[in-house]
Structure 1
Amino acid sequence: MTAIRTTAAAELLGVSASTLRSWERRYGFPTPQRTGGGHRQYDLEEIEALRESLGHASDAATAVALARRDHAYDGGRVAGRSSGGGREPSSVDRLRRALRRFDEAQADHVVEESLHLRSLERSVDEVLLPAIERLDRDHPGSAEYAFGWRWGSRWLAAAARTAPPVHRPPIVLLLDGTTTGSLDALRVQALELALRRSGVLPINVGADLPATELTRALERITPDALVLSGRAVPLDRLGRLVFAAQRAAGGELAVVDFHGPLPERRAQGVERLDPAPLVARSRLLQLLDGEEPFRVRRGR
């Protein structure tokens, strides 16, 4: 289960945190777990089911009922339990098997089926990425994994081309230090797709770019957040790029790490985002919208 905080769950639903808590008390859904400190942690699948149902219902009570039904159906059929108590292959297993057979048509079919049960973002987070990760774990360096990676990259690129037009002012600059064929490269692609579908413009530039070129590019754009990703670029080079970006932004810029080189959660004033692209997007949107702002200041 992927768990998110109250503020992130409320942001995904487009309601206030107090409204979300009132639904919990009144309808018993969504049903958060409690951390050791007593803070709510919501199941991302429940929140996504509720978000989808809100678009089809005229009131909160109906939306909650639809979400509870859809979540129960999803959890039973897709997680691998049939109504008769037997086992069915999960969507992840079916996709992995299709990719192992080099069966692109069947791989497309599995994801299309998932889109009837989940949002596109959840299908990426819960089906596409896990299936390719399992291929890498079971057959590292194999032709099957290479085929699966390229199929996944093409699928994500096609979904990005059909994403709604950018309609929000923030710009997210990704310093991409991933390598072609790596799982991290797919995760960064998935984060870009999730940002585009939320109306935010992501601009991806290679982290091997000279600092002078980055400075020149930033004369044309003003990013609101900087995302460090990948481990293929040395930290000292990355540091020079971050400094150049901060200087171009006037000495203040939100800097976060997503599957990047920084080992600690808030190492050197840089927050490490959740590894799931959908949850990482939620946190980025919080930063961009001014909720729990996290800024790094450097001298000009």
Structure 2
Amino acid sequence: MTEHLSEAAGGPLYPIREVSRLTGVNSVTLRAWERRYGLIQPRRTPKGHRLYAREDIERVERILQWLNRGVPVSQVSDLLDRNATSSVTSAPRETTGSIEADWQHQAQEAVMAVETFDVPRLDTLFTRSMGLYPVHTAISRLWRPVVEQLETRWQNTPDGCAQRHFFESFLRTRLGLRLYHGNLEHNEPKLLMSRLPDDPSLLWLLLLAFTASSGGFNITFFDAPVPLGQLPMTARRINAQAVLLAGGTTDRTGETRSALFDLRSQLDAPLCICGPFARDSEQDCSTHDLLALDDDPAQAVSQLRALINHPIAG
């Protein structure tokens, strides 16, 4: 099939792979929006292949604008109809309230699934959120709040260690396949990711890896902490354009901070840190040419992009 087919009176028609390229929405998600929610109605060839007109592509872009604002996909159709002739502005007040309630309900379901070691329930929530929403929206609106809730509960829960390992294993399995396909598609920019030394949680790094992969990074990912002294050699061998260390705790010794500052001086690539430790160490980081990234994974990935395009002068 050619890049697009011309219709006699209606202009060009695009196959689904071209719509995916133009909008960044994968074909599985486009089909789900059509079948489950009727958000788009492409034409069909005699053999059943989907063809999208320019107005369909514009509709996909409007859908993305609403989803990026956190609107549940089930409410998008009504908002599209209300704003059929105007650009996306803001959702009505009553819709805004239901948006927050919907995300909170999903978060509570996910927390309960982790606490009860319910793989099918957790998988349903994860697959649905990642399939229907942009990855950065699903992470920021659902999975980051879930991690924050769980980390708070685990401070006073005897079962916290087992639940954390269960959730980490669940996310790590799903991340592996995503990184494999993402790295095949994107050769660069190359990003080396690992945990901060002695950090007990992998969850923060996993959320960042999902977001960075969907943002087009080629990722080398270590799910166990790598000795800081080995990172410079590793970064050079893979030609990393940035090194990212993440963790979920703020309790760091002066020795750890000093080791990070020494590491920065040995790296050819920028060194970034993310998570609560980065938030509390922002002033020290700027003094030693480390970049403390935003807590929000989407914002952190945007900062990484800007850093790679305009690296810190060394």
What is the TM-score with the length of structure 2 in the denominator? Answer: 0.60
Match of 1:134? 149
For 1:68 and 1:242, the matched residues in 2 are separated by 38
Give the AA of the match of 2:227: L
For 1:150 and 1:65, the matched residues in 2 are separated by 39
SS across alignment from 2:138: helix
Match of 2:297? 277
Please tell me whether the aligned partners of residues 175 and 206 of structure 2 are also in contact (alpha carbons under 8 angstroms).
Answer: no
Larger deviation, residues 254-263 vs 267-276: 254-263
The one-character-per-residue Cα deviations of 1:253-275 (angstroms, maximum 9, x if unpaired) are: 33332124561266213332111
SS across alignment from 1:199: coil
1:62 and 2:81 matched: no
Match of 1:263? 281
For 1:151 and 1:117, the matched residues in 2 are separated by 24
For 1:66 and 1:278, the matched residues in 2 are separated by 19
Give the AA of the match of 1:222: N
Alignment of 1:181-200 (within 5 A): 181-182=200-201, 185-200=202-217
1:111 and 2:93 matched: no
Please tell me whether the aligned partners of residues 196 and 202 of structure 1 are also in contact (alpha carbons under 8 angstroms).
Answer: yes
Tell me which of 66, 90, 93 is aligned to 2:108. Answer: 93
SS across alignment from 2:237: coil
Larger deviation, residues 267-276 vs 136-145: 136-145
Alignment of 1:90-239 (within 5 A): 90-163=105-178, 164-166=181-183, 167-174=186-193, 176-179=195-198, 181-182=200-201, 185-204=202-221, 209=227, 211=229, 213-230=230-247, 234-239=256-261
Please tell me whether the aligned partners of residues 132 and 145 of structure 1 are also in contact (alpha carbons under 8 angstroms).
Answer: no
Please tell me whether the aligned partners of residues 139 and 145 of structure 1 are also in contact (alpha carbons under 8 angstroms).
Answer: yes
Structure richer in helix, relative to its length: 2
Distance 1:139 1:241, change over 3 A: closer
Q: Report which of the two structures shows the higher radius of gyration computed on alpha carbons.
A: 2
Please tell me whether the aligned partners of residues 110 and 125 of structure 2 are also in contact (alpha carbons under 8 angstroms).
Answer: yes
Which of structure 1's runs of 4+ aligned residues deviate more than 6 A? none
SS across alignment from 1:227: strand
Q: CA deviation at 1:235?
A: 1.5
For 1:186 and 1:62, the matched residues in 2 are separated by 35
The one-character-per-residue Cα deviations of 1:168-217 (angstroms, maximum 9, x if unpaired) are: 322222353154643xx311122122222333223346766253x34443
Q: CA deviation at 1:282?
A: 2.0
Give the AA of the match of 2:63: L
What is the TM-score with the length of structure 1 in the denominator? Answer: 0.62
Structure 2 gaps of 5+ residues are 1-20, 24-38, 41-51, 77-95
For 1:101 and 1:137, the matched residues in 2 are separated by 17
SS across alignment from 2:60: helix
SS across alignment from 1:80: helix
